[in-house]
């Protein structure tokens, strides 16, 4: 098969500095900010045929009642090579497997990687196809915003995937909230006694027993896990009436920021609306719970019709109170009963990382970087588009031309334009909570983001210096004791 290649020189010229929005944040993924990561996966040829067979999944198999029973097709002893810039990293004896849930019925599907050794302090990564996501950047943009917000969050980059010498096209590359990743993210000594729960089943609104909706992320494969801590905190939330009820147990500002982003992103497949796609992590430094979001592909007016039949454009006009249309208990306790603290957090977000003035520029930067790769993704190889290997999967409506248009304007009722969506919800937020849009955007010109990643590095260095100081004091005492002894 003739494999389409794009001139390295052309791509290098296009990949100019585009990271101003996320520069100086201490992100590990900063090494990918001006380039594309090339991922090359190799394993036994006979396994490739088995992989393609396992990928054949139609929409009926990913309906809610069936999706939980789907299992991954896993290939161990794969060799995974990362190349970016002038660097090459080779990971032998790694694991490559199918990934995702509802997206498994797309023609182009996602995969998960588990490396045999650490890369950027992590071993687990995802490559996601963004099938029929016209802009190709909703996840990347969302994680960039979270990275800039000061919250612990997933990081993202863009990648080109090749499997057994077959080009699969453009993917979004992210890390994954696993115990080992959180150990490095929070600068912990070990994962022992870590308390981390992943919400994998949609529909949890903090008004019933939590266990059926979660997995214990620290449990071994053969273990069911321990859900005692989960049930305690979710019971407290379900019975709460105010921030004061929850302040001793949760990081309130962390929760408020995530609720704000849920709404601003129009992320209906997250905590507020669907009760889905989040982690609850008990931070050992103060024994308070925090929220962690993942899978932010159904955002900014994309994908809503698949779950609710409503138009994506509608969500960009929802007030925060309207957005809570399933009456989520957590939202009622933390915001709707008294929105004073939420209003303060929201204003900081709008100034720091979410307004049209700074995000329109960021969107243009990302678009410029990935443009040739999106074009490559829509260029047939022997009559077939790259990576569209699930032949019984959903039909593709995305095109390169729609990629060009979809950041600037609404395509139809189910595909909102990225910039118009952000401008609309920004104006709704300002009107609902009494902010001056002009004042917000002018203030964002001079703001210096406080990055979670930089903060953790400073804490680590501070602890290290404290240990060194303490050690030096001990040494000085011993030396002085020896001197005094010799005097006599």
The pLDDT profile of the chain, 488 residues, written as one tens digit per residue, is: 444 444 444 444 444 444 589 999 999 999 999 999 999 999 999 999 999 999 999 987 766 555 566 788 999 999 999 999 999 999 999 999 999 888 899 999 999 999 999 999 999 999 999 999 999 999 999 999 999 999 999 999 999 999 999 999 999 999 999 999 999 999 999 999 999 999 999 999 999 999 999 999 999 877 899 999 999 999 999 999 999 999 999 999 999 999 999 999 999 999 999 999 999 999 999 999 999 999 999 999 998 766 565 666 789 999 999 999 899 999 999 999 999 999 999 999 999 999 999 999 999 999 999 999 999 999 999 999 999 999 999 999 999 999 999 999 999 888 899 999 999 999 999 999 999 999 999 999 999 888 999 988 776 655 544 444 444 444 445 445 544 544 43
Q: Which of 82, 83, 91, 131 is nearest to 110 (CA)?
A: 131
- Token pair in block for residue 27: 């992100």
Using the structure block, give the residue that is written with the tokens 């100034």.
351
Q: With beta carbons less than 8 A apart as the criterion, state whether 379 and 466 touch.
A: no
Residue with tokens 């903060």: 455
What is the 8-class DSSP label of residue 411?
-
3-state secondary structure at position 88 = strand
Closest CA to 417 of 426, 430, 404, 431: 404
Which of 295, 296, 312, 316 has the alpha carbon at shortest distance from 304? 312
Q: What are phi and psi of 214, to 5 degrees?
A: -125, 160
Q: pTM here?
A: 0.90
* b/e code 33-47 from CB counts within 10 Å (16+ = b): bebbbebbbbbeeeb
Q: What are the residues whose beta carbons fall under 8 Å from the beta carbon of 420, sequence distance 6 or more?
A: 316, 408, 409, 410
**87-98 and 111-119 beta bridge pairing:** antiparallel
| Dihedral Cα 164, 167, 168, 174, nearest 10 deg | 80
């Amino acid at each position: 098969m003739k494999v389409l290649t794009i001139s390295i020189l052309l791509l290098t010229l296009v990949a100019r500095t585009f990271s101003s929005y996320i520069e100086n944040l201490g992100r590990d993924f900063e090494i990918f900010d001006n380039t594309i990561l090339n991922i090359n996966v190799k394993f036994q040829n006979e396994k490739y045929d088995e992989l393609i067979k396992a990928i054949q999944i139609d929409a009926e198999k990913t309906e809610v009642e069936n999706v939980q029973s789907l299992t991954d097709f896993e290939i161990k002893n794969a060799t995974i090579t990362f190349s970016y810039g002038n660097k090459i990293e080779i990971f032998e004896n790694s694991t490559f497997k199918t990934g995702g849930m509802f997206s498994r019925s797309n023609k182009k599907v996602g995969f998960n990687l588990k490396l045999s050794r650490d890369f950027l302090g992590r071993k687990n990564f995802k490559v996601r196809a963004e099938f029929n996501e016209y802009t190709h950047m909703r996840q990347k943009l969302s994680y960039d915003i979270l990275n800039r917000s000061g919250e612990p969050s997933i990081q993202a980059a863009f990648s080109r995937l090749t499997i057994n010498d077959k080009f699969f096209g453009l993917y979004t590359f992210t890390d994954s909230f696993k115990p080992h990743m959180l150990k490095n993210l929070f600068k912990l000594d070990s994962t022992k006694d870590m308390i981390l729960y992943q919400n994998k089943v949609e529909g949890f609104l903090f008004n019933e027993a939590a266990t059926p909706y979660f997995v214990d992320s620290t449990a071994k494969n053969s273990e069911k896990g321990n859900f005692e801590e989960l049930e305690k905190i979710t019971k407290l939330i379900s019975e709460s009436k105010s921030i004061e009820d929850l302040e001793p147990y949760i990081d309130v500002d962390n929760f408020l920021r995530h609720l704000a982003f849920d709404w601003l992103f129009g992320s209906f497949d997250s905590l507020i609306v669907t009760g889905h796609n989040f982690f609850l992590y008990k931070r050992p430094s103060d024994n308070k719970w925090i929220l962690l979001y993942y899978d932010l592909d159904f955002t900014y007016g994309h994908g809503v019709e698949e779950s609710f039949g409503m138009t994506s454009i509608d969500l960009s006009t929802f007030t925060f109170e309207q957005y809570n249309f399933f009456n989520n208990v957590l939202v009622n306790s933390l915001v709707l009963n008294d929105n004073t603290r939420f209003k303060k957090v929201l204003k900081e977000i709008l100034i720091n990382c979410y307004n049209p003035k700074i995000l329109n520029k960021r969107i243009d930067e990302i678009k410029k970087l990935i443009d040739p790769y999106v074009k490559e993704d829509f260029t047939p190889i022997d009559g077939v588009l790259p990576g569209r290997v699930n032949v019984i999967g959903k039909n593709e409506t995305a095109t390169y031309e729609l990629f060009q248009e979809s950041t600037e304007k609404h395509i139809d009722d189910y595909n909102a334009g990225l910039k118009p969506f952000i401008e609309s919800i920004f104006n709704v937020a300002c009107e609902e909570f009494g902010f001056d849009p002009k004042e917000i955007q002018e203030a964002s010109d001079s703001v210096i983001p406080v990055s979670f990643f930089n903060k953790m590095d400073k804490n680590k260095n501070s602890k290290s210096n404290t240990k060194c100081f303490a050690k030096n004091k001990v040494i000085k005492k011993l030396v002085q004791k020896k001197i005094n002894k010799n005097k006599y």
